[in-house]
């Protein structure tokens, strides 16, 4: 599935890999008190929380940006035929993502840039495709921009330290290192600008090197914000971390700073995991924030 909209002169297309009521709230948000979802039922049900199942609706999606002659892919989902035996819903997927990309005007050989918010397995999978007995770059003519601090964290083996959640796992070897070995990778840091349109902004905590990408055109702004937010509940309660946040205090500070900036800049936010309509605006309400969904056109 694909949907498109404009940010000024820039075309953004959303590519859906899958969505469903997949997560027990106590698993995804282990620090959240009982009753919080019911308290914010109008915000969460039915697009982000299936009340009678008590399951959070989580989406895996990524973004294509057409700007000038550039075709940019932002995050790359889970990928096809990736062995993920510990997560049944991700294991050996076989979806029509590539066909949807072609339909969206982004055939893999035409993609010029691939930019990754962080190196978790559900954000890097389509970096590579299984071909002739090995994992090869899906976008052979693109440069792949990887967050340096995430790469260093993985490459040095720190994700194996006791007490640190291993959320990188095998995806580092089947979806990241083949790109590096082919000489297609660029290590990026906050403050850089990619393809003359994406400003890289620091967003650590969920992972050591997570970044967000800000785009501006004709007075409009959008932010591709990775996993700073997994769910709208974290907008009204920015203190709630997902269970996958490696550095919890830093993740909370990053989230609060992001919400303040998005509200001040009136930027369209595009998280990876939100349910329908998948994007929107942050508005201030008293001392806190509310989410204003924005539908695709």
Backbone angles phi, psi at 148, to 5 degrees: -60, -45
Q: Does this model's pTM top 0.85?
A: yes
Contact 130, 188 (CB under 8 A): no
pLDDT score, position 161: 55
> What is the pLDDT at residue 165?
45
Q: What is the pLDDT along the chain (297 residues), one digit of tens a residue?
A: 899 999 999 999 999 999 999 999 999 999 999 999 999 999 999 999 999 999 999 999 999 999 999 999 999 999 999 999 988 999 999 999 999 999 999 999 999 999 999 999 999 999 999 999 999 999 999 999 999 999 998 888 765 554 444 557 789 999 999 999 999 999 999 999 999 999 999 999 999 999 999 999 999 999 999 999 999 999 999 999 999 999 999 999 999 999 999 999 999 999 999 999 999 999 999 999 999 999 886
Distances (CA, A) of 76 to 70, 72, 138, 164: 17, 11, 10, 24
According to DSSP H, which parts of 86-207 are helical? 97-103, 148-155, 171, 177-181
Q: What is the DSSP string of 18-35?
A: EEEEEE-HHHHSTTPPTT
Residue 86 pLDDT: 85
Distance CA 266, CA 261 (A): 8
CB 198 within 8 A of CB 213: yes
Virtual CA dihedral for 27, 29, 32, 34, nearest 10 degrees? Answer: -40
Determine the Cα–Cα distance for residues 94 and 241; give it in Å rounded to an integer.
31
């Amino acid at each position: 599935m694909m949907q498109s909209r404009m940010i000024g002169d820039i075309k953004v297309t959303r590519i859906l890999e899958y969505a469903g009521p997949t997560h027990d709230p106590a698993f995804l948000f282990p620090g959240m008190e009982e009753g919080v979802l019911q308290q914010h039922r109008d915000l969460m049900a039915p697009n982000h929380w299936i009340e009678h199942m008590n399951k959070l609706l989580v989406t895996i999606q990524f973004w294509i940006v057409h700007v000038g002659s550039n075709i940019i892919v932002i995050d790359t989902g889970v990928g096809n035929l990736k062995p993920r035996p510990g997560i049944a819903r991700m294991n050996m997927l076989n979806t029509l993502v590539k066909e949807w990309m072609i339909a969206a005007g982004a055939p893999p050989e035409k993609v010029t840039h691939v930019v990754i918010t962080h190196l978790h397995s559900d954000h890097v999978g389509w970096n590579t495709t299984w071909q002739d007995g090995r994992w090869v770059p899906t976008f052979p003519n693109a440069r792949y921009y990887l967050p340096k601090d995430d790469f260093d964290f993985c490459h040095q083996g720190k994700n194996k330290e006791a007490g640190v959640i291993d959320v990188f796992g095998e995806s580092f070897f089947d979806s990241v290192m083949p790109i590096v070995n082919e000489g297609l990778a660029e290590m990026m840091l906050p403050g850089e600008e990619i393809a003359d349109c994406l400003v890289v902004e620091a967003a650590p905590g969920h992972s050591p090197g997570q970044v967000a990408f800000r785009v501006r055109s004709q007075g409009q702004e959008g932010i591709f914000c990775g996993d700073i937010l997994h769910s709208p509940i974290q907008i009204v309660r920015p203190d709630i971390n997902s269970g996958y946040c490696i550095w919890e205090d830093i993740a909370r500070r990053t989230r609060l700073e992001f919400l303040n900036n998005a509200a001040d800049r009136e930027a369209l936010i595009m998280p990876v995991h939100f349910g329908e309509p998948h994007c929107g605006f942050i508005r201030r309400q008293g001392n806190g924030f509310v989410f204003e969904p924005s539908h695709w056109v």
